[in-house]
A and B are shown apart, each in its own frame.
Chain A
Amino acid sequence: MATSQRSKKKGSDAQDPNLRTRSATSVTGRPDDHISAGEPTAINQPSLSLIGWARWIWRQLTSMRTALLLLLFLAAAAIPGSLYPQRTADPNGVTTFFQSNPTLAPVLDKFQLFDVYSSAWFSAIYILLFTSLIGCVLPRVAVHYKALMSPPAATPSNLARMPAFQTAKAGAKKRARALDAAFAQLKSQGYRVVRTEDSVAAERGYWRETGNLLFHISLVGVLISVGFGGAYSYSGQRVLVEGDTFVNNLAGYDSFSPGIAFSQNQLTAFSATLNRFDVTYDLKNKTNLGTPLDFAAHVSLRERGASKAKDTVIRVNEPAEIPGAKVYLTGNGYAPVITIHDGKGKIAFSGPVEFLPQDANMTSLGVIKVPDAKPQQFGILSFFYPTAAQLKSKAYTSVYPAPASPLITMNVYEGNLGLDSGIPSNAFSLAVHGLKQLTGGKTNVESIKLRLGESANLPNGLGTVSFDSLRRYAALDVDYNPGQGWVLFFALLSLAGLIMSLVIPRRRVWVKVDQGGIQVAALARGDDPLLERVVTELVTKLNQKPEKTEDEN
């Protein structure tokens, strides 16, 4: 029921006698089940030969229905990636998930649910989809090229069956003029027109199909650029404390993830020194007090061969650009400078310690491991409060993110830190299991408290610790992806094709004269809001007095 209504209103090609009499694929280049192809024919059964089967499978794969189903499968297949943490986007989330769901997680992992977008099943869907797309589009390119080269389809015999159709009474004189007038009018409106003895056939909107093909082909361009860009890309992270310098080589990174085709000599030679890291807080607005308004990393960049370093400011949304890489600001925090003398009085640790922010007021957590301390190894689990305040419970908290009244508290753990075992350990966590806690918590010994410039004795004769100065650090990301410009190029090309294909009307118009008068009919491919009006306007024009047309000539 809906079919007949729609095709009547919208003027689908189903009614086009020129298209209906022949096999649809050969005429339009579109799949058999495209709406323009009319009712299904008997060719849907595969013949039993191998080639017959292959052809049948290929036809199924390149049908509209398959494309549609694959699109919907792709949408559905993308959902789990938003439900479970993904290794690429959120590696810590995956670790946490494994810890809290020890039985479920390995099962999910078997089904690649933590790597959805590189999983076998997700890849299978989009590879099939794009195979279908190429198989679908290439024949259409050939057919469209032929259509561009040939004149509009001849006037069908029965115009009354067209979705837009009007007649006008006309005497012999008017009839004689009508075809010339229609020819001129349609030509001036950008139609391709052919004239025969008793009719004019016109067609416009070839750009609609061109746009559609451009859209689909550009999607292939997007996919290829994504793949090639990903293969040669790299992304490296480095935390840089004020005053420190980073040199762009593999050893300079805290973590590094290369694409599969990455090679080390892609790393352009440059170095970056973090001179200063500034945070601007809102001090004006009560509801907003202490909200950071701006982060600015003042950096000196020195490229290979450059005699002088260049000073730049890197902000969120404003990366520094170096040929072959961009340097982004992705995080920041405090790095108190700590010195520890061990029980023998020797310096066992000295330098800035990067603390991880835990809340909006920059309460931060830091870990210090002192494996070389004599007589005993120990580790420190430590909190930093830029503006410390004491709660009723005696616990400390930070009430403001800027360092107005900085305080460090420390819990000391004695015992083997396990750093010699060869298992890589996380610099930001201390495995307290098997260690003996000496301060804080249930030990009945108060945590060590240090204000800026203070020092304190460690318990059990482990030595002394001092909080010498306070610096900030910036977390920087160095990224390179040679494909992204191409991705953008093809995405925009595809968008242009899409717009062309959706807004340019493709329509055919016919004018025919016979004894009864003038007949005008039009047929659109796809949606065409103006179809009726085009016919009405043409009829009005043909009904007009002839002077006008003569003037124009």
Chain B
Amino acid sequence: MKTAVNLNEALSQWSVLGIYASMLFYAAAFVVLSMDLARAASEKSKIRATAGKLERAGILLMIVAVAFHGIGVLGRGIAAQRVPWANMYEFTITGTLVVTVIFIFAQAFRKDIRYIATFMTAFVTLALGIATSVFYVQVKTLMPALQSYWLLIHVTVAILATAFFNIAAALSITYLFKTAKWVQEPSKKYAKQTWFVALKRVLKLFPEPARLEQTSYRFNIIGFILWSFTLIAGAIWAERAWHRYWGWDTKEVWTFIIWTIYAGYLHANATRGWHGKRSAWLVVIGFGAIMFNFTIVNLYFKGLHVYSGL
């Protein structure tokens, strides 16, 4: 017999406050990191010299944001007395936390990915904003179909995979900017304009294209292994909950599509004429499909995976 749980509504309110606080700090980190980039791109060498300090301040703000973010996620889990990833709101706050934690952890090892921190803070602030304003639902117990330890396994791994894909996508986008024809061989019209000169300076701060490509590849292969596992764990769970391991439900379809795109990406990396720009585009398309799967498919497509909670 399953016993009823005690939802702690008061604690869940505190948890939301934690999320709001973290948004504030992420936003502040974003502003500081953008200023840092702006300075680094400045024409005056004196201003440029001050760039490094701002960056450290930005990363510090980001760490504070992560601390609040962690409190928010933990509070939500304790309030609901279960893992905090059963609806879109919870999935978003937990997923973005995992992204930032992995990012901070990774940039301790790989100094040259810290430049994408500006993107990451912007992305996380935006995602949390949408989570709190559009996806928010009060703490609820789990519907019986979700009461399974496979929820823990399947969704944890999916979140992790998404986090790795996310960082890889940021790196590949940077790569595409750096290698873009209009950046490499600017037309006379804008080559001398200040915005272009500044953009070139900012891009120069990022690692070499080959290095970006390689780092993106390493994040992607971890993401791909985790995603393959998500697929298998999902099938095992579907067999228990929906009496078949695979049924081409909309969510299953998109999990498959994403897996296939990234398999294509891994092939592209080994195919003459396809690595470099084309494979970087596949990374962008793959991550686009993940975002599409999480937002549009969850909210508007009909299927069994109706866990948005909205």
Contacts and interface: CB of A to CB of B under 8 A. Distances in A.
Do A and B pair up? The answer is: yes
Interface of A: 1-3, 5-6, 8-10, 33-37, 40, 64-65, 67-68, 71-72, 74-75, 78-79, 81-82, 85-86, 88-90, 93, 116-117, 226, 235, 280, 282-288, 291-296, 315-319, 326, 328, 330, 477, 479, 481, 484, 487-488, 491-492, 494-495, 498-499, 502-503, 526-527, 529
22 contacts: A9-B210, A33-B273, A35-B271, A40-B272, A64-B267, A64-B270, A65-B273, A71-B260, A284-B6, A285-B141, A287-B9, A287-B138, A287-B139, A288-B140, A293-B141, A317-B147, A326-B243, A328-B242, A330-B243, A479-B244, A484-B245, A488-B236
Contacts of A491: 231-232, 235
B243 A317 contact: no
Nearest to B293: A82
Contacts of B244: 235, 479, 481
B57 interface: no
A328 B239 CA distance: 10
B56 interface: no
A68 B214 contact: no
Nearest to B249: A89
B147 A68 contact: no
Contacts of A35: 269-272, 275
A2 B209 contact: yes
B243 A479 contact: yes
B274 interface: yes
B225 interface: yes
Pick from B144, B239, B244, B253 the residue with the most CB of A within 10 Å. B144
A65 B241 contact: no
A9 B214 contact: yes
Interface of B: 1-2, 4-7, 9, 138-141, 143-145, 147-148, 179, 208-211, 213-214, 217-218, 221, 224-225, 228-229, 231-232, 235-236, 239-250, 253-254, 256-257, 260-261, 263-264, 267-277, 297, 301-303
Given A33-B273, A78-B260, A495-B229, A316 B4 contact: no
Given A64-B271, A495-B228, A498-B225, A78 B257 contact: yes
Pick from A316, A328, A492 the residue with the most CB of B within 10 Å. A316
**Shortest beta-carbon contacts, A-B, top 9:** A2-B276, A75-B260, A328-B243, A64-B271, A71-B264, A316-B144, A5-B210, A285-B7, A82-B253
A76 B275 CA distance: 20
B141 A34 contact: no
A502 B139 contact: no
Contact of A3 (B2, B9, B276): B276
A86 B214 CA distance: 40
A220 B148 CA distance: 31
A33 B277 CA distance: 17
Contacts of B218: 527, 529
A315 B145 CA distance: 9
A505 B303 CA distance: 42
B272 A71 contact: no
B5 to A, nearest CB: 8
Contacts of A294: 1-2, 144, 147
Contacts of B236: 488
B145 A291 contact: no
A117 B248 contact: yes
Contact of B274 (A65, A75, A90, A317): A65
A82 B232 contact: no
B274 A68 contact: yes
A369 B175 CA distance: 68
Contacts of B246: 226
Contacts of B214: 6, 9-10, 527
A255 to B, nearest CB: 13
B260 A293 contact: no
A319 B243 contact: yes
Nearest to A116: B248
A9 B218 CA distance: 14
Pick from B249, B263, B301, B303 the residue with the most CB of A within 10 Å. B263
A84 B6 CA distance: 41
Contact of B144 (A34, A67, A116, A292): A292
B272 A75 contact: no
A405 B276 CA distance: 68
Nearest to B277: A2
B179 A33 contact: no
